[in-house]
């Protein structure tokens, strides 16, 4: 069990965030077997600090994954506050594709965590569905997007784009496919 971030002192919270950011990068770049001590060192903390927050490798992998998922989901509200709903959705789509690419880099670490009994994916669909739904709802309310779209259909479409265009060399194609999805979500609106 990891320490909930809400009860941490400010310095401990900063350390935890640095560890999680570093872990995501390390797992994505070096795979599941990256030494935990190397993650601690790269995050600028001691091994004891890392283990105080994340007593096992699996706890670190799970927390890193959930932290990235929360960032993606939370960005929906931030984008809606700054942009028209259709543009917020398109920007969110880009962030989601980036998230899936990073998750792909963490795949081995996530598989190892699942094999040990952890369930990093427990709340994934609900959180993503709620984020996409908020974007779609705002777009429909503004008359910019269709109102008859299932958020999970959009999520599956985005996952398909990520699967097909997962490499950095395919990022331009990914953008074109996301534009097509957004055009389909606009089809039939008055604007």
Domains of the chain listed by start with CATH number? 5-186 (1.10.357.10)
- Give the number of C-alpha atoms closer than 13 A to the C-alpha of residue 55, restricted to the C-beta side: 3
Q: Phi/psi at 165 (nearest 5 deg)?
A: -120, 40
Q: How far apart are CA 6 and CA 160, in angstroms?
A: 35
Output the DSSP codes for 160-190.
Answer: HHHHHT-SGGGHHHHHHHHHHHHHHHHTT--
pLDDT per residue as tens digits for the range 22-32: 998 888 888 77
Q: How far apart are CA 91 and CA 81, in angstroms?
A: 13
pLDDT per residue as tens digits for the range 59-112: 898 888 888 889 999 999 999 999 999 999 999 999 998 888 777 667 777 777
Give yes or no for residue 1 having a pLDDT over 70: no
Tell me if residue 79 falls in helix, strand or coil: helix
- Residues 6 or more apart whose CB falls under 8 angstroms from that of 161 comprise 97, 174, 177, 178, 181
CA 172 from chain center: how many Å? 20
pLDDT per residue as tens digits for the range 97-109: 888 877 766 777 7
pLDDT given for residue 8 in this prediction: 66
Give yes or no for residue 3 having a pLDDT over 60: no
Q: Tell me which of 168 and 14 has the higher pLDDT.
A: 14
Match 């920007």 to its residue by tokens.
91
Q: Tell me which of 66 and 5 has the higher pLDDT.
A: 66
Using an 8 Å Cβ cutoff, are 181 and 157 in contact? yes
């Amino acid at each position: 069990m990891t320490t909930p971030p809400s009860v941490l002192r400010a310095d401990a919270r900063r350390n935890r965030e640095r560890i999680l950011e570093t872990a995501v990068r390390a797992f994505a770049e070096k795979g599941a077997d990256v030494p935990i001590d190397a993650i601690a060192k790269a995050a600028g903390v001691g091994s004891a600090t890392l283990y105080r927050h994340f007593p096992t490798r699996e706890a670190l992998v799970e927390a890193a994954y959930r932290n990235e998922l929360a960032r993606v989901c939370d960005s929906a509200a931030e984008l809606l506050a700054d942009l028209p709903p259709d543009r917020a959705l398109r920007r969110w789509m880009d962030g989601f594709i980036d998230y899936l690419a990073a998750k792909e880099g963490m795949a081995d670490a996530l598989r190892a965590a699942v094999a040990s009994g952890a369930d990093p994916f427990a709340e994934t669909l609900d959180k993503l569905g709620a984020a996409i739904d908020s974007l779609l709802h705002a777009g429909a309310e503004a008359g910019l997007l269709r109102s008859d779209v299932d958020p999970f259909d959009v999520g599956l479409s985005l996952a398909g784009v990520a699967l097909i265009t997962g490499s950095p060399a395919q990022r331009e194609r990914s953008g074109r496919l996301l534009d097509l999805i957004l055009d389909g979500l606009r089809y039939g609106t008055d604007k």
